């Protein structure tokens, strides 16, 4: 593997920022008890679009990391980014890492999170 993974602290910090921003946006439109899937749904859409086109979410930009294809180093494209987001949603998949610090969601989508 030619691309080194980003440090875990940066990755979890970016995930925290992204999740809080999705909670705040979803909370502006509905109460979490009435629409409990609004924030996770927004999270999936944001990840699919931003990683698919730009290789970064807001949190990733703040923490200077990006998610790219392990083969090309380019943005994933929306279908692979959508797959990555859906597999990552239970969060446990992000904790199942290989020796290269790639979570299960990264291995399934063929991505890696690197320092920008």
Q: 28 Cβ partners below 8 Å, 6+ apart? A: none
Q: Are 38 and 23 spatial neighbours (Cβ–Cβ below 8 Å)?
A: no
Domains of the chain, residue spans:
8-115
User: pLDDT tens-digit profile of 65-107?
Assistant: 999 999 999 999 999 999 999 999 888 888 889 888 899 999 9
- The mean pLDDT value for 38-60 works out to 96
Q: Are 95 and 103 spatial neighbours (Cβ–Cβ below 8 Å)?
A: yes
Specify the pTM: 0.89
Q: How many residues does the chain have?
A: 116
Looking at residue 109, its pLDDT comes to: 95
């Amino acid at each position: 593997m030619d691309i080194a993974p980003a440090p875990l602290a940066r990755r979890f910090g970016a995930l925290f920022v992204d999740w809080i921003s999705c909670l705040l946006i979803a909370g502006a439109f509905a109460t979490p008890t009435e629409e409990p899937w609004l924030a996770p749904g927004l999270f999936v859409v944001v990840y699919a679009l931003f990683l698919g086109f730009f290789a970064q979410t807001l949190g990733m930009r703040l923490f200077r990391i990006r998610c790219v294809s392990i083969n090309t180093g380019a943005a994933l494209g929306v279908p692979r980014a959508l797959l990555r987001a859906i597999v990552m949603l239970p969060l446990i998949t992000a904790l199942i890492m290989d020796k290269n610090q790639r979570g299960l969601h990264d291995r399934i989508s063929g991505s890696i999170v690197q320092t920008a």
